[in-house]
């Protein structure tokens, strides 16, 4: 069974204080690892897809990295508008059947001015 564990559950940062969010996963063949941002009452907003260990992707203050067991979302010099819940999800490599994402429980990030 695919499993995704995110830590910490909640994180409070001061504006400009860089940090990293962790996503540990177990999956029977990784098709893709996804990062999303979710604001309260909204659907998840796509950030990144990572496909293989060693891959990195960046978008503004966010950088996602991937190893064979975990992924990190690095936030550099965060701003209050980066406050949100960040979700990690995996998609398994299957020819048929379930190809939906398995989500972690998320990290609630609060960036204080």
List 12, 15, 17, 45, residue binding other proteins (CB under 8 A)? 45
Q: Which is nearer to other proteins, 10 or 77 (CB)?
A: 10
Q: Using CA atoms, how far apart are residues 28 and 1, in angstroms rounded to an integer?
A: 8
List 93, 94, 110, 112, residue binding other proteins (CB under 8 A)? 93
DSSP E strand stretches across 1-113 = 3-7, 10-14, 19-26, 30-38, 45-50, 56-59, 62-66, 70-75, 84-92, 102-103, 107-112
Q: Near other proteins by CB under 8 A, which window of 15-23, 63-71, 73-81, 97-105?
A: 97-105
**Sites of contact with other proteins (CB under 8 A):** 31-32, 34, 36, 41-46, 49, 51, 87, 89, 91, 93, 97-106
């Amino acid at each position: 069974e695919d499993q995704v564990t995110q830590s910490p559950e909640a994180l409070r940062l001061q504006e400009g204080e860089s940090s990293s969010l962790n996503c540990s996963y177990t999956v029977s063949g990784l098709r893709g690892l996804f990062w999303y941002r979710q604001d309260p009452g909204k659907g998840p907003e796509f950030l990144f897809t990572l496909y293989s260990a060693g891959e990195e992707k960046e978008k503004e203050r966010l950088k996602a990295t991937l190893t064979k067991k975990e992924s990190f979302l690095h936030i550099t010099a965060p701003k209050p508008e980066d406050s949100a819940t960040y979700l990690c999800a995996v998609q398994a490599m299957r020819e048929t059947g379930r190809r939906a994402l398995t989500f972690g429980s998320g990290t609630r990030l609060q960036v204080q001015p």
